[in-house]
Structure 1
Amino acid sequence: MEHIVWRSPTGLKKGIRMPLPQMPTPDSMLSLQEEQKKFIYLTINYSKIDVILILFYIKNDLSFFANKITREALFHRLSGKLQPLGNDGIKCSRSSIEEYKMCIKYKRSFFNSIRSVESFLKYIKEISSDLLGNPVFIREKEVIVTPDRYGNFVAYPNQKYINFGIEKLLFVIKNKEKYGALLSSCTILSMLLSIHPFQDGNGRVSRIIFNIFLMNTVNKNIFIPIYEFSKISQNGFLFNIREAQLFNKWENISIYMNNILLESIKFNMNFDNIRSISNGKLEEFCYYLYKT
């Protein structure tokens, strides 16, 4: 991990450069065997729940959803360092609905996209352009995240390493049996976030590819709304994925994903949650989901 210091008109800025995508080690693969088995069991059960119900709540009443699950199961040890966010104060600037629609639209062309680096880059450019509503191109300059109030920032790998990163990502996809479904999907997500191929929209595209991979290799009915769960967990997702990106440690992000599945299943099993829905509102939501 490279540390960077530079002086700006407003003072000294300190940051890190995100490492190039890292492959899970054999030790990581061995230590995650139980989580891998748990993931397969949970995905079988998760695929049977009504994902539309989950999407309905996270869009229309995320606070209700947060009150009905065990949020602490999704916290990272650093989540407690943040100012506690009450269940009634959970707000999202966007939702996973558009990401779900992109997954449904592009999942069938996934395997054609992984034939080469060029075809995969074309694939994610098409998804990103569709998502943002304007032409998107692979970045040709470095990306540095706006410094926080303390002047800390993150710089992503130089653009010349994008193809190299995609090569590693495609290797994981093509060797998914070796890495297992859980570790493969987390690695793909981490790698795309680290590569940061676009100037904007990298998080959304990474989550879409993560879910498209699961739809094609695990179960067609799976969609994990990571964006909202990150909010519910007080940035639990961000802390866990950073451990993978910076330190090549995969245990916590793997446990986090399994806990998302478990909490969603438990929510769906509670009949009172389902009974509280207004049929008219759900019908209106379904129309919005499939007709727009």
Structure 2
Amino acid sequence: MAILILAEHDNASLKLDTAKVVACGQAIGGDIDVLVVGHNCDGVASEAQQLTGVRNVLLADSASYANHLAENISELVLGVASDYEHVLAPASSFGKDVLPRVAALLDVSQLSEVVEVVSSDTFVRPIYAGSVLATVQSLDDKKVMTVRSSAFDAVATDGNAERVPLAQDMAAQSEFVEQSLTESERPELGSASVVVSGGRALGNSENFGILEQLADKLGGAVGASRAAVDAGFVPNDLQVGQTGKIVAPDLYIAVGISGAIQHLAGMKDSKVIVAINKDPEAPIFQIADYGLEADLFEAVPELLAKL
């Protein structure tokens, strides 16, 4: 049995999520190959070669893949998928963009947000905003799966996989126009070990400044609830929850967040959860390891003063 894992990267470095998806591949069992698709991404391939348990790193380096357009990458994956029983990718915006196209081209059903491997054809995935875990079996010859990386620990980096260049240079199916990115010196939200999130109780975007100070003190990332994003306090790429990013940091600090089920679905796997809220009935306290019933505009500045 062979497994193909689609690497996520920015053409310069490999995303940590890929190492976690490799751990999922090890749980399935079989030979694991990692597919690196991009442009001028030799360094990414070298990082992938170091992942423990990886047999081969397939490298497709071409200008047509520079911007990781799903239409182009899915055609490439289809060209090599015949050698594999499983095709995996992180359940990130990248994986969610590419793999549904791959599944459609292969005429199979996709398994989304896998959090546990039962056997090579049976997996556990959350439904109903994470309140229920469903065990599902796939009878398709090829299993196309996105993996919730927060459910797996990254593999070590003491491997020495072989590199296999791919000659395929598919004709472009779509053309890149432009992208708008939010630049930040803070860690990426999805991989940060500390996340400080704020809710609608912050009141406005200016008040998120105190959370940014706290995150900077702790070396962490800033997140937000959907309510805060919908209110326009922060950009939507900071949203944590079922319709945002799934995070599982070592420390998650929820400030002024009530704890709606869609938000809990995105952070409940955090190692330690600290909640600050003046409402003693807030649902967030039910899953918090530590809870502080206090006004956030008093508690957070006091916490900053102590750090």
| Structure with the larger strand share | 2
The bucket for the TM-score relative to the shorter chain is under 0.3
Larger radius of gyration: 2
TM-score normalized by structure 2? 0.21
Report which structure shows greater RCO (CA 8 Å, sep ≥6).
1
TM-score normalized by structure 1? 0.22
